[in-house]
Amino acid sequence: MIHPTAIIDSGAKIGRNVEVGRHSIISSAVSIGDESNIGANVVIEGEVVIGRENRIGHGTVIGGEPQDLSFSPTTRSRVEIGARNVIREHCTLHRGTAEGSATKIGNENFLMAGAHLGHNCEIGNKVIIANNCLLGGYVSVADGAFLGGGCVFHQFMRVGRFAITQGLSAFSKDIPPFLIAAERNYVFGLNTVGLRRAEFSSGQREEVKRAFKLLYLSGLNTRQALEKSKETEWTDLGREFFGFVSDAIKKRGICPLKRGRDNEAST
């Protein structure tokens, strides 16, 4: 199951039925779970923990030093990857930049070819990151989000649950959950197709729609909408939406709405 040209340090922990392709290099502080498949020319270095049933594509580099000018090579940091992820060809996942910190990926995510995760990114579960996406340090992506190909995400920003971004877009502000985002820091409406596919009920979708309208279509600014939301009865989804917005305005702020026929149809 391990190609004879692969170089695996004697300290590495390799689970059962793990395949390692030709010319791959695995360092001593790496742990790989059962039933995982590591392609050819893969480099896994530093402290990296990979769960079971992961597929790592050819040419991927995991655990490399962060692209941070203040980083010291003596810093002990790591990458943590859950189970059943697919990480395709030539992805780069850098380890944390601060002592004891980690870049974290949950379960059942799909990173398409060429995706880059900077240091200390946190990816939830069932996230899709399309080809050539670039995530700066400390970017957080919640469960079920879909990042379109070639998108760029500024460090420290967040992408909410079940949000979707259009390809070749760029973001430096937080994208609230359940929304469509595109271009440069704009949202356009609700991710209704994604919510249906995720089996959100009509009542749940209506709750999200009501929260969206209060935030973006009521004529109130963000802080006023947050205050108004406190006077309204919400289910868990509404509270999640406004909880995200409340946290966002303390830091990077949220993407504003760009009006047009397309977003009006989706609301």
pTM value is 0.96
Give the tens place of pLDDT for each residue, 238-260. Answer: 999 999 999 999 999 999 999 87
Domain 7-156 adopts which CATH fold?
Answer: UDP N-Acetylglucosamine Acyltransferase; domain 1 (2.160.10)
CATH architecture type of domain 195-266 = Up-down Bundle (1.20)
- Tell me which long-range contacts 155-162 makes (C-beta under 8 A, separation of at least 24): 155/118, 156/251, 156/252, 157/252, 158/244, 158/247, 158/248, 158/252, 160/241, 160/244, 161/124, 161/240, 162/191, 162/194, 162/195, 162/198
Q: Is the dihedral of CA 160, 165, 168, 174 positive or negative?
A: negative
Average pLDDT, the chain: 96
pLDDT band at 261 (very low <50, low <70, confident <90, very high): very low
Domain ranges of the chain: 7-156, 195-266
Find out whether 177 and 159 touch, Cβ atoms under 8 Å.
Answer: no
Give the tens place of pLDDT for each residue, 184-208. Answer: 999 999 999 999 999 999 999 999 9
